[in-house]
Every structure is written in C-alpha cells, then in structure tokens.
Structure 1
C-alpha cells in the first residue's frame, strides 16, 4: 500500500504527531510525506517527498496573530500549482492533517482522502466551543482542509469518530517526577513580553523554550532553551507545571503526565479558543490577556490545588486500523 500523508507545518504539533505515527504507518505500507507551511521550528526526521510554502500563521509580538504577515505570505497561484502537481492518483490512501493544498488537490484530481487529526474533531457540534462562536473561525475549521471522511483527536471522546490524543512514546514510557521547575512554551510571545513577570517570581525556576534561542543559558531564575524535542520532553516530564498556549498536543501530554497547566490561547485564534473552552471544562485555568499582574496570576495558579482528569493515550495501531477501514468503506 502507498500512503500519502500531508502535514500542516504551522507550529510543531502536526510534525510531532506525524513523527510518532510514522513507524506504525510503515506497518501498513510505504509512506511519503508532504510538508505544507514554513514556520515550524522542529527538525523534521521524516521522508519528506513533497514540500510547499503553503499557508502559515505568523504571530505578533505578545500573544496574538499578525494578520498582515499571514496575508502577505499567501501565494494563491503557487498553492494552486502545488495542488495540481501532487500525484495523488499514485497513492492508495491520502491522509490529510489539516492542509488546504492537499484538500484542493483531492478536489481537482477527484481523489479520495481522510482528514485525520485534531482539527477534524471540529466537524462535530459536540466538540467544545467558546461562548461566543466565530463565523469565520467555524468556516476555517470546517472548510480549510475539508474531506469526505474524518477521524478526529481530542482530549475527550466528544463524538463517535473522535479518538484520544497521540502521545509520544517518550511521554508514555516516562516516569514523571516533580523537580519543581515550571516549563514555558509560548511561541506567540517574544521574550520581553513575559520576562519581567518571571523575574519577579525569583524563587520559581522557569524552563523557557524560545524559537530564537540557539543554546541553553541560565540568567537568574530563568533557563532559556532552544525549541528541541528531546530537551522539551525532559523538562515537561520533570516539571511541576507548564505555562503554554491553547494548542492541543502540549496540553494533552501535560494532562497525561498529570502536570499543572496554565493555558494562554493565542488572541483571535479560534481553534485555540475552542481548545481553551475544552480545557476550562476540565478545570484548567485559562488566561486570555497577559498584563502587568501576570506574576500574580502565576503565583495564584501555583498556590492553587487542582485535580484534572487524567486522559488516556491513543491506541495507535487500533486507531490506524480504524482509519484504513474507514477509508475503504
């Protein structure tokens, strides 16, 4: 069997998931990957056969989206040509993890596909949303990478086609400890937006992962790390808690490890607002605006006693078998 797997490379979660799935997919057949987008920071250790600049998110300085940068980097003609050139007819199965080019290519070439991943879960009305829905956000979630078939991943099984999160082997097999530090992963924030708040909490040790850091360095109570999967896994496994965005993979791993979480969804990022709504239902505190009192928010969070529901790791062979069975129906 020949398998085409499209990865959305906006952020690192899709790449991390594909890397975990790859050895399992190989048991079903030969896998070629298509990497679409240009602002992930993880090294990609996968057989990437096709690449495209695609459509990527860009962030403002302190926790929001930069719509101007997003718009000016979209090249519709190039995306159309890329979609036209993908040889999807050469593949038995097309798996799409939220990539618009692959979705377009399937329509143009009348090729079958299945949307697989977190965003696929939003096809269901049962999947949590914020109190105020965004019409544009709903359209993007449902039509940006549309497919006739869907297999979703989420914190809980909100619908029959939604499965547990893909948790990396390193996390599943880990023996978590509490070494008291706080792991920080907030790619939409630049250093000077939050550094002052962390410095005020001089008795708290922070492990802060930043895209523009080249090597590990400690200044006061903050150790700065480059975005590196191995280093991040170690920090998360041994942390007291994590401050992160409203993404999916990192909170899922933290919930699996039973770590404290403080979530700061990216402003005006509808999917992250939806994830934040789901996290709030599970008891996770969510901060929508970071102001001068952020150090107090962190301190109150650290002093709070919370018990989150422990989530289960995905049974990957079972889910992939379900995927291929669904595809062939």
Structure 2
C-alpha cells in the first residue's frame, strides 16, 4: 500500500528580474502547497510587482537592468554583479534540507545544488531552450545560447512555451483571472514596455491622437491622464483587467504577457529587448502566430500601430495542459528525497490526480 505524504518540503527559487517569473510563481503557489510546505527563494532586485509569496530567502542575485531606448544597461548590470557574494550565498543556501528543489532560472540555487550534489528541477520558460526543437532566430548568438543552457542547470527540466515543441515542454501558466475572463474590446490599447523610459513611450503614443492607451509604468504611483494616455501603476490584476478589455497589447517579446494576450485572442505587437537573446527566440516563435515584431520605437512607430490595429488577429494559443496537470508532472519528475530515515513501509509516492482542485 502506498501513501500520499502531504508534508514534503519544497524549495521554489524564483528569478525576480522582471515581473513574469513572480506572476507565474503566484499563480503556481496554491497548486504547489497542495503537495507540501513551500519556501521561496527570491533572487533579483528589479521587479516592479509585489511578490505575494512565502519568501524565506532573499538575494539581490544577478539582475538585468534596462536603459531608456529598448536595450540592456550593461554598465549597471556589471556594477551590481558581485561574484564573491553569489558564491557565498550558494554555499549558505540550505538546499539539502528540502525534498524537492524547483528552480525557475535562478543561478544561486543552481550553483548550491551543484556544490552539494542535490537534485533539482529547472522549471519554467527558459528550461524549454534545452530542446533543439524550440524556435530560435536565424542569426544565432553564441553567448545567448550559452546563458540559456548554462545559467541555471539542473538534473531535470520541464519547460513552458507557446507550443509543445518537445516531450518535456508544456503549455504556459495562465493566470486564473485570464482563464475565467470573457474578453471584450473597449477600444484602448494596453502597453507595457519596461525597457523604454516613460518619456520615450509617451511621446510616441501621443502621436496616435485618436487611440486611447493604458500605459503601465514602473514609475507611476497613481492613475494619471496625459491626453490620450492613461498612465497606470504596475499591478497584476490591473494589467490583466486592462488586457481583457483591450483592442490590443503592445509589449516586449517576453513570455507571460504574450502568452496571455494570445490566449485572450488579442492583437499583439512586440518589441524585443535589444541584446536579450531569449526575447529574440520568443520573437521567432511569435512570428509563427502572425504576431508583428518591430525592433525599436522610431519615426515609423505611429504608422505601424495603425496598420497593426487594422490587421487580422493572431493565431490563438491553445492550452494543451492545465496548471494542475503541469504541477503534477513537476512533482512526479522531481527526485523526492526523504530527510527523515526511511522505513520499509514508507513509500513516499505522489499521486497528482488525488490532489487536484475541485
């Protein structure tokens, strides 16, 4: 006879560079907590989204910072990098105290597991790039390829992407608010371009005088009207609500927001972050969904927006697996280690079907 053990200890390492990893972690948390006690290691220092998570360990980690014109701020990234501190934190992180270590593209946890020879699962969008079948741009970036495959290595991989490109790659994790929504079109365009300054984006959008925009800004603390632009603070629910009722969404070529826009059947216009190879890979995948990709905000940006809004909607995204199924596969694939001594009757098995939500 096998028993479902409800009190396993789970360490979930979440990358806090940007908002997508945190948004996904908040959606996953109730499902993970069905299996046991979850501690979160939050690594990174430039997310604008409040992490409503059981954070037990916190680190500045290795963060990405952006300039004002759509690219990375390499000088700031370099100044924030402290290799000695990363190594110290990896040695101190008690990964050996957990039954399962889940790593969402976080380098300190990856290093800690290597140093202490602890199995782990690289779970998230970046894990999908281990597969040769995952879409890539025609022009390869060797450094970018190395980062995607070596930045956070693990003993097991479960990837998330727009389509199931391989047998270990599954559907995106979509927020419940989006899953339960009835999309409508109230005429506005939702905009989130964190890799550009507000001034650059506002100047460009105000040229489209007859189009209302919801511009989500990391600097905004309250809703403010600037002619045809409603400047809004970043919030998980606020941005989701805006997308549900939008005529279209303009954003970077990340993963979570484009996936939700495609799921809602919304028109989507993407501007990849310059120099970020993962976004160029995502752009290659999004082009197969008929999503227009542009390189920068320039003098043609206004005409591009009008042309885009008059074009056909992209190919919709279909979820092949539910969040519950995906978390079940993560737990099943994870190497479950018991911290207490085993007995011959202690089978320590997991049955995701028995832990499903009503």
Normalised to the residue count of structure 1, the TM-score between the two structures is 0.98
For 2:22 and 2:320, how far apart are their aligned partners in 1?
Answer: 18
Instruction: Say whether the 8 Å CA contact 1:171–1:237 is kept in structure 2.
Output: yes
Map of 1:178 onto structure 2:
185
Matches within 5 A, 1:54-69: 54-69=61-76
Map of 2:37 onto structure 1:
30
Map of 1:241 onto structure 2:
248
**How far apart are 1:309 and its partner, in Å?**
2.8
Q: Determine which of 100, 107, 110 is the counterpart of 2:117.
A: 110
Instruction: Say whether the 8 Å CA contact 2:204–2:297 is kept in structure 1.
Output: no
Deviations 1:153-198, CA, capped at 9 Å, x for gaps? 0000000000000000011011111101000001001012122221
Instruction: Say whether the 8 Å CA contact 2:266–2:314 is kept in structure 1.
Output: no
Runs of 4+ aligned residues of structure 1 deviating over 4 Å after TM superposition are none
Classify the secondary structure of the residue corresponding to 2:206: helix
Q: Give the structure with higher Rg (CA).
A: 2
Q: Determine which of 294, 315, 320 is the counterpart of 1:287.
A: 294
Matches within 5 A, 1:264-279: 264-279=271-286
Map of 2:307 onto structure 1:
300
Classify the secondary structure of the residue corresponding to 1:266: coil
Q: Determine which of 131, 142, 147 is the counterpart of 2:154.
A: 147
Between 1:312-321 and 1:46-55, the stretch displaced more is 312-321
For 1:118 and 1:310, how far apart are their aligned partners in 2?
Answer: 16
Instruction: Say whether the 8 Å CA contact 1:167–1:314 is kept in structure 2.
Output: no
Map of 1:220 onto structure 2:
227
Q: CA RMSD in A?
A: 1.0
Map of 2:212 onto structure 1:
205
**How far apart are 1:66 and its partner, in Å?**
0.8
For 1:81 and 1:262, how far apart are their aligned partners in 2?
Answer: 42
Map of 2:132 onto structure 1:
125
**How far apart are 1:55 and its partner, in Å?**
0.3
Instruction: Say whether the 8 Å CA contact 2:120–2:335 is kept in structure 1.
Output: no
- Between the two structures, name the one with larger relative contact order (CA 8 Å, sep ≥ 6): 2
For 2:331 and 2:235, how far apart are their aligned partners in 1?
Answer: 32
For 1:135 and 1:283, how far apart are their aligned partners in 2?
Answer: 27
Instruction: Say whether the 8 Å CA contact 1:256–1:313 is kept in structure 2.
Output: no
The number of aligned residues is 329
Deviations 1:104-126, CA, capped at 9 Å, x for gaps? 00011111100000000000010
